[in-house]
């Protein structure tokens, strides 16, 4: 059966026997696959049997705090779609459910036509994601080039790395590795912006004003308004060759002498306001290499075999 034609799979958690019967009849008529639990205590073990496209949970389940029930589900399965079913919710109550991560809310008496539409929308989106994930296993190489202005970087805080999400989805990077790669890139981009394009000295961080502000931050603000500095660009190339992810970040600054080469810096033994970004970069990826007098840095992280790689 293809991904697209797989029927929706649903886990129903409902304390009311009549309601369970009504949902069950509807699901059977539509040809949807479903399992049912009648108590929140059983929801956790039932989820282990999954995965399910959607959990439909009666938020008046006996013995459960409804909001923490949804949070618990999402803690176990962060991408799980959850539809909360309730008799009547005020605007504030509904907002709380959405903030706790519910995908949608369904009022009782249940409008089954509405439910069908919501289920089809969720399932369609999940099938598309799954298809993309499966397709990505066949990608053997990829390369993206990006150019940013200084103000772009300030606005974005980092650079977009959709490839990291795709590699995580196919298991080539685990969640912690993906998080660290993003962090290492963010550190490298900040270095390129601050020490490269804006020419800021690390030692200025130690020069504190009475209000707690420092010379580094003050000069940073000034230079971000100065065309001589803020007109410079940052070039980012992201490539994947089937065995490793490589990110190259180049700035238009003058580079710097004594840039680190060949290994991680010593562990910190004193309170210093600089050098932490490098330590984080070295700890997050397999290789950190500086070129062009330090104005270009290459980060390399080996990936795990996934799919057909």
151-170 residues near other proteins, rule: CB under 8 A: 154, 157
Query: Is 8 or 277 the residue whose CB approaches other proteins more closely?
Result: 277
Contact with other proteins (CB under 8 A) among 39, 95, 147, 176: 176
Q: Is 276 near other proteins (CB under 8 A)?
A: yes
The CA–CA distances, whole Å, from 94 to 85, 106, 167 equal: 11, 10, 35
Which range touches other proteins (CB under 8 A), out of 17-25, 102-110, 125-133, 210-218?
210-218
29-58 residues near other proteins, rule: CB under 8 A: none
DSSP string, 79-142: T-EEEEEES---HHHHHHHHHTT-SEEEESSP-HHHHHHHHHHHHHHHHHHHHHHHHHTT---E
Contact with other proteins (CB under 8 A) among 279, 290, 306, 309: 279
The alpha carbon of residue 306 and the mean position of all alpha carbons in its chain are separated, in whole angstroms, by 19
Across 104-149, where does the E strand assignment appear? 104-107, 142-149
Q: Is 183 near other proteins (CB under 8 A)?
A: yes
- Asked if the bond preceding 109 is cis, omega within 30° of 0, the reply is yes
DSSP 262: S
Q: How far is the CB of 183 from other proteins (least distance, A)?
A: 6
Q: Is 280 near other proteins (CB under 8 A)?
A: yes
Burial 100-120 (b: 16+ CB within 10 A, else e): bbbbbbbeeeeebeebeebbe
Q: Is 211 near other proteins (CB under 8 A)?
A: yes
Q: Is 253 near other proteins (CB under 8 A)?
A: no
3-class DSSP assignment, residue 108: coil
Query: Is 139 or 190 the residue whose CB approaches other proteins more closely?
Result: 190
Q: Is 230 near other proteins (CB under 8 A)?
A: no
Q: Is 267 near other proteins (CB under 8 A)?
A: yes
Q: How far is the CB of 173 from other proteins (least distance, A)?
A: 15
CB 208 within 8 A of CB 214: yes
Q: Is 268 near other proteins (CB under 8 A)?
A: yes
User: Rounded distance, CA 189 to CA 206, Å?
Assistant: 22
List all residues 6 or more positions away from 199 whose beta carbon is below 8 Å from its beta carbon.
223, 229, 253, 254
**DSSP β-bridge partners for residue 217:** none
CB 82 within 8 A of CB 103: yes
Query: Is 118 or 197 the residue whose CB approaches other proteins more closely?
Result: 197
Q: Is 218 near other proteins (CB under 8 A)?
A: no
Contact with other proteins (CB under 8 A) among 273, 290, 306, 309: 273
Q: Is 283 near other proteins (CB under 8 A)?
A: yes
The helix or strand, by DSSP H or E, that contains position 288, with its residue range, turns out to be strand 287-291
Contact with other proteins (CB under 8 A) among 179, 230, 244, 306: 179
Taking residues 107 to 146 in sequence order and writing x for each that binds other proteins by CB under 8 A, - otherwise, the string is ----------------------------------------
User: Rounded distance, CA 45 to CA 189, Å?
Assistant: 44
**Binding site residues, other proteins, CB under 8 A:** 154, 157, 176, 179, 183, 186-187, 190, 205, 208, 211-214, 267-269, 271, 273, 276-277, 279-280, 283
């Amino acid at each position: 059966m293809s991904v697209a034609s797989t029927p929706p799979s649903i886990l129903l958690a409902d304390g009311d026997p009549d309601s369970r019967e009504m949902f069950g009849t509807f699901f059977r008529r539509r040809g949807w696959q479903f399992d049912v639990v009648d108590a929140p205590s059983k929801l956790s073990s039932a989820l282990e049997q999954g995965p399910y496209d959607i959990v439909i949970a009666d938020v008046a389940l006996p013995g459960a705090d409804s909001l923490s029930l949804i949070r618990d589900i999402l803690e176990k399965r962060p991408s799980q779609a959850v539809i909360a079913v309730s008799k009547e919710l005020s605007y504030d109550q509904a907002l709380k459910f959405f903030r706790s991560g519910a995908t949608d809310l369904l009022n009782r008496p249940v409008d089954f036509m509405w439910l069908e539409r919501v289920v089809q929308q969720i399932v369609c989106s999940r099938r598309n994601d799954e298809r993309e994930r499966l397709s990505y296993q066949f990608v053997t190489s990829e390369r993206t080039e990006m150019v940013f202005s200084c103000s772009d970087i300030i606005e974005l805080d980092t650079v977009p790395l959709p490839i990291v999400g795709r590699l995580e989805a196919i298991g080539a990077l685990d969640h912690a590795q993906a998080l660290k790669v993003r962090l290492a890139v963010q550190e490298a981009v900040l270095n390129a912006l601050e020490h490269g394009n804006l020419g800021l000295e690390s030692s200025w961080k130690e020069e504190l004003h009475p209000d707690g502000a420092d010379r580094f931050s003050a000069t940073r603000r000034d230079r971000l308004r100065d065309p001589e500095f803020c007109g410079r660009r940052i070039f980012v190339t992201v490539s994947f060759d089937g065995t490793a992810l490589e990110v190259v970040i180049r700035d238009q600054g003058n580079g710097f002498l004594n840039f680190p080469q060949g290994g991680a810096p010593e562990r910190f033994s004193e309170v210093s306001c600089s050098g932490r970004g490098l330590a984080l970069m070295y700890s997050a990826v397999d290789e950190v290499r500086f070129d062009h007098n330090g104005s270009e840095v290459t980060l390399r992280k080996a990936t795990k075999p996934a799919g057909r790689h």
